Structure 1
Amino acid sequence: MSVDSWRLRIQHKSGFEYAGQVSSSYNEARMWPRNEARQAVLDARVEVWPPARTYRYEDYWGTVVTAFDVHAKHAELTVTATSTVETLPPGDLLDAGEGSTWEALERAESVDRWYELRLPTQRTGLDEELAGIVADIRAAHATPHAAALAVCEFVRGEVTYQPGATGVQSDALHAWAQRKGVCQDISHLTVGMLREMGLPARYVSGYLHPKPSAGIGESVVGQSHAWVEWWVGRWTAFDPTNGCPVGERHVVVGRGREYGDVPPLKGVYAGPKSTGQVVEVTITRLR
Structure 2
Amino acid sequence: MSTPLVDSWRLKIQHKSGFDYAGPVSSSYNEARMWPRNETHQAVLDARVEVWPPARTYRYEDYWGTVVTAFDVHAKHEALTVTATSTVETLPPGDLIDQGEGAAWDELALPENRDRWYELLLATKRTGLDGELTGIAADIRGAHATPHAAALAVCEFVRGEVAYQAGATGVQSDALHAWTQRKGVCQDISHLTVGLLREMGMPARYVSGYLHPSPTAAIGDSVVGQSHAWVEWWVGRWTAFDPTNGVPVGERHVVVGRGREYGDVPPLKGVYAGPQSTGQGVEVTITRLR
Q: Residue 16 in 1 paired to residue 12 in 2? A: no
Asked if 1:232 corresponds to 2:235, the answer is yes
Q: 1:186 aligns to what?
A: 189
Q: Supply the distance in 2 between the matched residues of 1:275 and 1:97 (Cα, whole angstroms).
A: 51
Letter in 2 for 1:27: N
Aligned-pair identity in percent equals: 86
Secondary structure in 2 aligned to 1:141?
A: coil
Question: Which of 56, 60, 65 is matched with 2:63 structurally?
Answer: 60
Looking at structure 2, the residues matched to 124 and 147 of structure 1 have their Cα atoms a distance apart, in angstroms, of 18
Match of residue 268 from structure 1: 271
Query: What do residues 167-208 of structure 1 show as CA deviations (whole Å, max 9, x unaligned)?
Result: 000000000000000000000000000000000000000000
**Per the alignment, in what secondary structure is the counterpart of residue 93 of structure 1?**
coil
What is the DSSP-based 3-state SS (H/G/I as helix, E as strand, rest coil) of the residue aligned with 2:173?
Answer: coil
Determine if the alignment matches structure 1 residue 243 to structure 2 residue 246. yes
- The whole-number CA distance in structure 2 between the counterparts of 1:56 and 1:224 is 21
- Pairing 1:223–2:226 present: yes
Partner in structure 1 of residue 45 of structure 2: 42
Letter in 2 for 1:156: R
Deviation at 1:2, TM superposition (A): 4.7
For 2:109, give the aligned amino acid: E
Contact 1:118 1:199 in 2 (8 A): yes
Q: Which amino acid is the alignment partner of residue 102 of structure 2?
A: G
Quote how far apart the aligned CAs of 1:88 are. 0.1
Contact 2:222 / 2:286 at 8 angstroms: preserved in 1? Answer: yes
Maintained 8 Å contact 1:34/1:64: yes
Q: 5+ residue gaps in structure 1?
A: none
Per the alignment, do residues 222 and 2 of structure 1 end up closer, same or farther by CA in structure 2, a change over 3 Å counting? farther
Letter in 2 for 1:198: G
Which of 152, 155, 177 is the equivalent residue of 2:155? 152
Q: TM-score, normalised by structure 2?
A: 0.98
Runs of 4+ in 1 over 3 A off after TM superposition: none
* Residue 105 of structure 2 corresponds to residue 92 of structure 1: no
Q: Tell me if the contact between 1:2 and 1:88 (Cα under 8 Å) persists in the aligned partners.
A: no
Aligned residues of 2:209 and 2:254 also touching (Cα < 8 A): yes
Return the alpha-carbon distance in structure 2 between the equivalents of residues 2 and 276 of structure 1.
Answer: 46
Q: Is this contact kept in 2: 1:209–1:249, CA < 8 A? A: yes
- The 3-state SS of whatever aligns with 1:150 is helix
Distance 2:215 2:7 in 1: 13
Partner of 1:200: 203
For 1:139, the aligned partner's letter is: G
Q: Secondary structure at the match of 2:119?
A: helix
How many residue pairs end up in the alignment? Answer: 287
Which of the residues 115, 119, 122 maps onto 2:118? 115
Q: 2:213 aligns with which of 197, 210, 214?
A: 210
Per-residue CA distance 1:46-101 (angstroms, 9 max, x = gap)? 00000000000000000000000000000000000000000000000000000000
Aligned-residue RMSD, C-alpha: 0.6
Q: Check whether the contact 2:53–2:77 (CA below 8 A) recurs between aligned residues.
A: yes
**CA-CA distance at 1:103 after TM superposition:** 0.2
SS of the residue 1:254 aligns to: strand
* Cα distance, 1:3 vs structure 2: 4.3
| Equivalent-residue separation in structure 2 for 1:203 and 1:2 (angstroms) | 30
Tell me, in whole angstroms, the C-alpha distance in 1 between the residues paired with 2:224 and 2:142: 42
Counterpart in 2 of 1:104?
107
